[in-house]
Structure 1
Amino acid sequence: MSEIHWNRMTAAQLRELAAENAVVLLPVGSTEQHGPHLPTGVDDLLAAEVCRRTAHLAAAHTRVVVAPSLWAGLAEHHVAFGGTFTLSLPTYHALLRDLCRSVLRAGFSRILIVNGHGGNMSALNTLTNELTVELGTPIAFANYFGAGREVIRDTLETQDALMHACEGETSMMMAAHPELVRTEHLDAARGPAITLPAESTEPVYRFVSFDGITESGAAGDARTASAEKGERMLAGCAAALADAIAGDPWAAGPER
């Protein structure tokens, strides 16, 4: 199996892949509280895992490189629980700009930012536009849980989409990193149902700290989670992203 991880390859190997017009996946997530049963790195770990699987699936039609993940994001709403890193929007913009510029200067021209954190969604929609203009090349962006929306909906029993430290995220962590799930705390891993702010139909938006929503730090009910559900969702999200790459979403953008 060919190596896919940027930081496990030599510069010469990466130059060869750039010459082959390989796609670079840039996983972005967050490091933040995830209830009593999950580690703070869930969003980062799951985005990286979906990218890994996507790269292997996409190898049937194109080479794909998985860049080191950006493990910090926009997580002010989780700070009250502790255990959380958060960035300001200008810092996040600057980090993404410099990371994407580095990828382009290494000779690559197709970048897909793959997000695993709900709090990044609204910013990434806008930043993708700005980065495309600033860098003079099309930058593409996807939420892995948006790409796999149908398989997530069809797999979960207690919810229709990902929430937070919920049945969905817990299931995927059970499949990808079972050693990090504190199953002895699953009974306490529940809270009210939520809709991600970027997908809300409410007419007015305002900031709400997550401790005002749930005492446990979880939204949704993790008690029905299973590794089998997690495997199905991870595989489905990766397949959806691989299909998206095959469609070459960069083709319609401005030339470098």
Structure 2
Amino acid sequence: MNEVLWNRLTAAQLGALAARDAVVLVPVGATEQHGPHLPTGVDDFLAAEVCRRAARLAGEHTGVVVTPSVPTGLSEHHMPFGGTLTLTLPTLHALLRDICRSVVRAGFSRILLVNGHGGNMTALNALTTELTTELATPIAFASYFSAGRDVLRETLETQDGLMHACEGETSMMMAAFPELIRPEHLPEAHGPRITLPAESSDPVYMAVTFDRITPSGVAGDARVATAEKGEKLLSGCAEALADIIVRDPWDKLGGRG
């Protein structure tokens, strides 16, 4: 099986992939509290895992490589819980600009930012436009859980999409990183249902810290999570992301090298 991870490839191998006009996936996650039962790296781990799986699938049709993930995002709303690392918006912008600039200088022209954190969504929509202009290269953006919306709806029992430290995220962690679950805390891993800010129909947005939404740090109900659901979610989200890659949105924007 061909290697897809950027940092496991040599410079010469990456040059050959660039010459094939390979797609570069940049996972963007977060490091923040995820209730009493999950580690702080959930969003980072899952974005990178879905990217790795999607690259394997899409690699049957086109060259694909996955950069090291961006493990820290916009998580100010989780700071009251502790255990959270956050960037400011200008820092995230600068970091992604420099990563994407390096990718372009390495000879690649098709870049897809793959988001794993709800709090990054609105910012990444805007930053994608900024980066496309600054780098004169069409950058694409997708949240893996938006790409896999259908499988989420079909699989989850208590919610229609991802929330936070919920049935969905807990199930995927059970499937991919079971050693990081604290099962003794699952009985307390539940909280109110929420809608991601980027998907809200509320005409007014205000910044609210997460401890005002849920004292447990959990939105949704992790008590019904299973590894079987998690594997179905990871596979379905990866397939949806691979389909986006193969459909080649860059070609419509004239972004092919």
TM-score, scaled to structure 2: 0.98
CA distance in 2, matches of 1:203, 1:121: 17
Amino acid at match of 1:210: F
The answer to whether the 8 A contact 1:137-1:254 is kept is no
CA distance in 2, matches of 1:200, 1:132: 26
Query: How far is the alpha carbon of 1:50 from its aligned partner?
Result: 0.1
Residue matched to 1:94: 94
Determine helix, strand or coil for the equivalent of 2:161.
Answer: coil
Amino acid at match of 1:88: T
> Which consecutive aligned stretches of 4+ in structure 1 deviate over 6 angstroms post-superposition?
none
Amino acid at match of 2:79: V
CA distance in 1, matches of 2:21, 2:86: 34
Deviations 1:163-193 (A, max 9, x none): 0000000000000100001111000100000
CA distance in 2, matches of 1:203, 1:106: 43
Residue matched to 1:57: 57
The answer to whether the 8 A contact 1:27-1:113 is kept is yes
Deviations 1:37-77 (A, max 9, x none): 00000000000000000000001100110100000000000
Residue matched to 2:214: 214
Query: How far is the alpha carbon of 1:252 from its aligned partner?
Result: 2.1
Pairs aligned (count): 256
Deviations 1:213-254 (A, max 9, x none): 111100000000000000001000000011111111111225
Residue matched to 1:69: 69
Determine helix, strand or coil for the equivalent of 1:250.
Answer: helix
Residue matched to 1:114: 114
CA distance in 2, matches of 1:145, 1:220: 15
Identical residues among aligned pairs (%): 73
CA distance in 1, matches of 2:118, 2:42: 12
The answer to whether the 8 A contact 1:137-1:253 is kept is no
Which structure 1 residue ranges, 5 or more long, are not aligned? Answer: none
Amino acid at match of 2:26: L
CA distance in 1, matches of 2:174, 2:162: 15
TM-score, scaled to structure 1: 0.99
Residue matched to 2:249: 249
| Residue pairs, 1:120-199, within 5 angstroms | 120-199=120-199
Amino acid at match of 2:206: R
1:228 aligns with 2:228: yes
Deviations 1:123-169 (A, max 9, x none): 00011011111100100000000000000011000111100000000
CA distance in 1, matches of 2:10, 2:161: 39
Determine helix, strand or coil for the equivalent of 1:35.
Answer: coil
CA distance in 2, matches of 1:103, 1:13: 14
Amino acid at match of 1:125: N
CA distance in 2, matches of 1:133, 1:76: 27
CA distance in 1, matches of 2:252, 2:60: 23
CA distance in 1, matches of 2:27, 2:53: 12
Query: How far is the alpha carbon of 1:16 from its aligned partner?
Result: 0.7
Amino acid at match of 1:185: H
Cα RMSD over matched residues?
0.8
CA distance in 1, matches of 2:44, 2:73: 9
CA distance in 1, matches of 2:112, 2:134: 16
CA distance in 2, matches of 1:113, 1:179: 28
CA distance in 2, matches of 1:71, 1:250: 26
The answer to whether the 8 A contact 1:136-1:254 is kept is no
Deviations 1:67-105 (A, max 9, x none): 000000000000000010111111110101000000000
